[in-house]
Amino acid sequence: MKIEILGVGCPKCKQFPANAEAAVKELNYFVYFKKTANYLISPIFPVRFPSAFLIR
């Protein structure tokens, strides 16, 4: 499983990946995390707020 985390670097964007990684670790899943903080890539995805994640 791959989780892509979209964020621009605000305090919420920095805490969001830590929370996601802790939740996945608690469930004992193997997940590849990718963090995207690029303003050019983020508008491609249909999210309203920059702190978001995509599960693929």
Q: What is the DSSP string of 3-19?
A: EEEE--SSHHHHHHHHH
pLDDT of residue 2: 85
pLDDT of residue 49: 63
pLDDT of residue 6: 78
> What is the structure's pLDDT at 34?
83
Quote the DSSP letter at residue 45. Answer: S
* Residue 44 pLDDT: 67
Sequence-distant (≥ 6) Cβ neighbours of residue 38 within 8 angstroms: none
Helical (H) or strand (E) element with 22: helix 11-26
pLDDT at position 4 over 60: yes
Strand partners, 55: 3
- pLDDT, tens digit, 9 for 90 and up, residues 12-54: 777 888 888 898 889 888 888 888 776 566 566 666 666 777 7
Query: Domain residues of the chain, as ranges?
Result: 2-55
